[in-house]
Amino acid sequence: MARKGPVAINTDAVALGLAQVRIGASLANIASTDAILTASDSIGSLANTRFVGNTDWYKLEGGFPLLEEYTTPIRESAQLECAFRETTPANLALAYGYDPAATPYSGYEAHSGEVPLGGRSAPAYVRMEAIYTYPNGTSHMYIIAPRAQVSASAEMDFAEEDAAAVPIVIEFKRADSELASGGHAVWDDRPLGRIYWD
């Protein structure tokens, strides 16, 4: 008997589990289109990871009654949302918009350091790489934001029987060569970054 409904075509392509999120310097790595950060750049254990590619659409309507005739994008953005469990000085600095790969945060230990409160300014530009490993253990999906900023209102919910998870939003920003500084021509046809597989 023939099966009906949405049966699996490639079971190795089913995504299950979380991506590893790595944060590094944006400008120093802006010319790289592939994942180049290492596991040591990971922000560690996560409670969730969620990629969102937002698009606002313009819809042309005509006639009476109005019927849709044409659709085109008018705005595009991308972001990765996650919540880290390891509340280290470097991770909390990231939540506050500082570059954890820059001094002094890059030199902090897991339990020593400082994050200044008050006097916030525009978040630093960072490079974000999310590496997702499929359950087969050999296939990967890479989400690359060559130039991103973290916007968050830092919240640490301490619970009696669960680990705190600090949510952040990593917003992808333009990285193309038309920027006065901080961009590169390798991103001209994909200015917000890219997703690729191997």
For residue 160, what are the CA distances in angstroms to 86, 111, 164, 183? 16, 21, 10, 45
pLDDT tens digit string along 8-55?
888 888 889 999 999 999 999 999 999 999 999 999 999 999 999 999
Written as six digits, the tokens of 28 are: 């120093």
Which of 161, 130, 162 has the alpha carbon at shortest distance from 144?
130
Question: Residue 183: is it exposed, middle or buried by C-beta count within 10 angstroms (0-12/13-18/19+)?
Answer: buried
Please tell me the pTM assigned to this model.
Answer: 0.92
List beta partners, residue 52.
79
pLDDT tens digit string along 156-172?
999 889 999 999 999 99
Which of 171, 169, 164, 170 has the alpha carbon at shortest distance from 88?
164
Q: Where are the domains of the chain?
A: 16-197
Question: Residue 16 in 3-state DSSP?
Answer: coil
